Structure 1
Amino acid sequence: MEKRIFYLLYEMEKSSKIKKELGKDKILDNLYQQKISNLNNALNNCNDMQCLANALQVSDSENVAIDNALGKLYHQSKNIQSFVHNNIRASHRYELSNSLSDSLLLIRAWNEEAEGMNHIVNAYLLHKDLIYPTIDSAKYYSQSKGYFDTIKAFVENEISFPKKKKLNRFFFKPLPDIDLAILQLNGRNEAGRFEPVPSINIPAFKKVKSVDWNRYQYSSILVFGSGPGKETISFSKENQMRCDSAVALFKKGLAPFLIVSGGFAHPFMTHHCEAIEMRNYMVNKCGIPSNAVIIEPYARHTTTNIRNANRILIEHHFPLNKLVLGVSSKSHIDYITGEQFIKIFHRDIGFVPFTEMQRLSKCEASYLPAASSMQINSKEPLDP
């Protein structure tokens, strides 16, 4: 989960060279000590969740100090310069900052992940700033004394652990560990459920290497998931209709792969993954070869159906100059090709991950994927 939500912090912590460079910086070490002191004060004095949440956030003044320290360290350290260029920039996870210099990209990546840490605190301790609270919110009531006491115990454990184990201090610790523990407590581990790679997709990814793309009009057929309204139903009639339409197009030879997209989204805290149910139906009921169906099991909204499918295409070297054929219901295609959809993309993920979106029929649309799809969104920890 940490790698998907906080990629920069994960890579920093994984590298012994970078940990050493950051660990000897006096400004960052002072910030770490001050943060631990603030958290200890909060444990001793806070009587409500708002007070504790304030201590768990990265403040504006802390963020400015970290920005300045990282900028200076970048210019002083060849190890950090190499790390940013070869690990962080090359990952494409900060694609929207691709035009920035390496030093500014580092600072921007930190800022995005600091915003992500603050968002987890707001969303899962205070029930604030969620765009889709009916499906994305915490399992526990934010004002519950039991929940408050449990979060305090998490904080106390995390700030005492490095001292007990005599571990090196790291400037942003223990915040992301506490944030991940908050998500786990609430059953919100969706971001890590299929990592590192859904094994069910491996046969399809092997097949990609041998495809004669000249035979196909589209690189793939993207099927937008539709979750059932009740936990007792694993596969909705709407989903079946979308799958049937997509299967018919696949059998016409329009594309070599079907991508079924949808995570554990509807209803709230469901145990059913839309993509898994769609794949099972296509393979077991419709007779589609298992190596022709790719699951995208993370998306919770239409915006990320498209973004996440694009990531698969980019990472597995599909031809990006070939259109993707999207299949859904009429009302959903109305929404996807409507004027408001672009605004929703900017609101939800901050960019538009496609070009040349056009409606083809009542239930079909096509588009070209954009490289910006690789940009992670730390402010959406269930599907970053």
Structure 2
Amino acid sequence: MLALSLAVAVGLHRTATAQDPAGYSAPFADRLTNRVFPLFAMLQTAPGWADALRNDPVLQKLATDRAARVPQGACKPAPQCLADAWAWTAEDIAAVEARLRTIMSNQKAADALVDRQIRASGRFARHAALSDADLLAAAWRDAAMAMNRVIDVYAKGVPPRYPAIDAFIFDIADPRMVDVLSAHGVATAAQTKPNDLFFEPALRYANGLMQMNERIDAGTFRPLLGGDNADTVRAIARMNWRAKPYTALLVFGHGPEDVQSRTGVMGHIRLAIAADLFARGLAPFIIVSGGNVHPNRTPFNEAVEMKRLLVTQYGIPADRILMEPHARHTTTNLRNCARLLLAADFPADKPALVVSDHRTIQYIGSSELAERNVREMGVQPGRLAPGPDRFTLIFTPDPVAFHVEAVDPLDP
């Protein structure tokens, strides 16, 4: 009996501290760089891979050559040249890919990385149909290009897809940016260690840029199924699901555009609809989804504020509300809720309900959003069907939602 209790406790602890698909438990910490660049965490932890990369003469030379590119003084055109030194060139990317494919010829190494990490994690689901070697190559190319994108946006001021809420927070034309980027580059280069893997200096540089720009959203509220969500996760595990038609009501935030409001006006309307459906017993849980989005760099988090209102204004028990505090768009609302539905052990044979105002529901169920999902995230995070009324859509999550789109480092 004691052994069974311990096993249950261990299982609940794993569920409560990891946002992973069934059957996989990440062997690395759930922090910012690992969330944005999971391949690098896997290369660091998969048995045999760190030594293979560290001892590879081609990768050793590449690391030395890349270190030599970092300016220790002035360069032109500044400040862009200071950032360009850290980017992965096409030649760099091709050279690394070739060495990764060579290491993959060792079947034991291939199994340790690709089977037990890359495939099992779901974080590269968009490439799942590829062979093991091609899958690793695609994951590497994605990671290198995503790191280059971080450098472009958060060191060089290149506009991201949504500049109003995701952009570089400084003025790239300010002469002081030369000093800032020079200081960051020199300091990062000085942190290089003899046992670094070939990508680790550049990873520190990219992480530093996100820190300097205060764009660390992807690393907040981790572990996601612990902390404020832990009581809800335990309630999910105890729930008797018989006679429950849907697992959860999914409510997407609406950020205000003024600095004083905590919740956008449409958010209040959506919460009222969700509270009514909850009271009528359509689902025993509510998932509120939304990050720190509008206005730009707001201190208010949509999910946190929606949970607060559901508890204080509608009397919904806090342990019946699961927060998804990272989504920045309707696309990622759907994807991140799909991840939570799968990771928090909601019943796989019951769908959830997306709840919103009648106009937004039409958009969520449209081909326009479906096309945008694939264009911006690379995957369709689940299936949508008409709900029981004009304010709802039935949603069945798909495990491909675990795919990480690192080009969006604020919510990959």
> TM-score per shorter chain, which class?
over 0.9
What SS does the corresponding residue of 1:285 show, helix, strand or coil?
helix
5 Å matches for 1:53-132? Answer: 53-76=83-106, 78-128=108-158, 130-132=160-162
- Residue 296 of structure 1 corresponds to which residue in structure 2? 324
5 Å matches for 1:31-50? Answer: 31-40=62-71, 43-50=73-80
CA-CA distance at 1:223 after TM superposition: 0.3
- Residue 146 of structure 1 corresponds to which residue in structure 2? 176
CA-CA distance at 1:142 after TM superposition: 2.1
- Residue 254 of structure 1 corresponds to which residue in structure 2? 282
Amino acid at match of 1:3: N
How far, CA to CA, are the matches of 1:217 and 1:77 in structure 2? Answer: 46
What SS does the corresponding residue of 1:361 show, helix, strand or coil?
coil
**Contact 1:32/1:173, CA 8 A, preserved across alignment:** no
2:184 equivalent to 1:172:
no
CA-CA distance at 1:16 after TM superposition: 7.3
- RMSD (Å) for aligned C-alpha atoms: 1.8
User: Aligned to 2:406, which of 360, 368, 378?
Assistant: 378
What SS does the corresponding residue of 1:383 show, helix, strand or coil?
coil
Amino acid at match of 1:228: P
How far, CA to CA, are the matches of 1:223 and 1:356 in structure 2? Answer: 15
Tell me which moved more, 46-55 or 301-310: 46-55
2:49 equivalent to 1:18:
yes
2:246 equivalent to 1:231:
no
The verdict on how the C-alpha distance between 1:207 and 1:2 changes in structure 2, with shifts beyond 3 A counting, is same
Amino acid at match of 2:66: K
Amino acid at match of 1:334: Q
How far, CA to CA, are the matches of 1:152 and 1:313 in structure 2? Answer: 44
- Residue 330 of structure 1 corresponds to which residue in structure 2? 358
User: Aligned to 2:272, which of 244, 254, 262?
Assistant: 244
Amino acid at match of 1:22: L
Tell me which moved more, 139-148 or 281-290: 139-148
What SS does the corresponding residue of 1:275 show, helix, strand or coil?
helix
5 Å matches for 1:298-317? Answer: 298-317=326-345
- Residue 135 of structure 1 corresponds to which residue in structure 2? 165
After TM superposition, where is structure 1 displaced by more than 4 Å over at least 4 residues in a row? none
Tell me which moved more, 6-15 or 255-264: 6-15
User: Aligned to 2:311, which of 283, 289, 307?
Assistant: 283
Amino acid at match of 1:349: M
How far, CA to CA, are the matches of 1:348 and 1:79 in structure 2? Answer: 32
Task: Give the length in aligned residue pairs.
Answer: 380
How far, CA to CA, are the matches of 1:353 and 1:266 in structure 2? Answer: 24
How far, CA to CA, are the matches of 1:100 and 1:184 in structure 2? Answer: 34
CA-to-aligned-CA distance 1:360-381 (integer Å, 9 cap, x gap): 5332222211111000111110
How far, CA to CA, are the matches of 2:74 and 2:92 in structure 1? Answer: 22
CA-to-aligned-CA distance 1:133-153 (integer Å, 9 cap, x gap): 101112111222222321221
CA-CA distance at 1:317 after TM superposition: 1.8
Tell me which moved more, 271-280 or 49-58: 49-58
How far, CA to CA, are the matches of 2:295 and 2:212 in structure 1? Answer: 19
CA-CA distance at 1:129 after TM superposition: 5.1
CA-to-aligned-CA distance 1:264-310 (integer Å, 9 cap, x gap): 00000000000000001111221111110000000000000000011
- Residue 358 of structure 1 corresponds to which residue in structure 2? 386
CA-CA distance at 1:181 after TM superposition: 0.6
- Residue 184 of structure 1 corresponds to which residue in structure 2? 211
**Contact 1:314/1:371, CA 8 A, preserved across alignment:** yes
How far, CA to CA, are the matches of 2:77 and 2:127 in structure 1? Answer: 40
CA-CA distance at 1:251 after TM superposition: 1.1
CA-to-aligned-CA distance 1:223-263 (integer Å, 9 cap, x gap): 01001111111123321211111011011111111000000
**Contact 1:222/1:258, CA 8 A, preserved across alignment:** yes
User: Aligned to 1:319, which of 347, 355, 358?
Assistant: 347
CA-CA distance at 1:213 after TM superposition: 2.3
**Contact 1:218/1:324, CA 8 A, preserved across alignment:** yes
- Residue 204 of structure 1 corresponds to which residue in structure 2? 232
What SS does the corresponding residue of 1:294 show, helix, strand or coil?
strand
Q: Percent identity over the alignment?
A: 30
2:213 equivalent to 1:213:
no
**Contact 1:333/1:359, CA 8 A, preserved across alignment:** no
How far, CA to CA, are the matches of 2:393 and 2:123 in structure 1? Answer: 27
The verdict on how the C-alpha distance between 1:144 and 1:347 changes in structure 2, with shifts beyond 3 A counting, is farther
Structure 1 length-normalised TM: 0.94
**Contact 1:32/1:171, CA 8 A, preserved across alignment:** yes
2:36 equivalent to 1:5:
yes
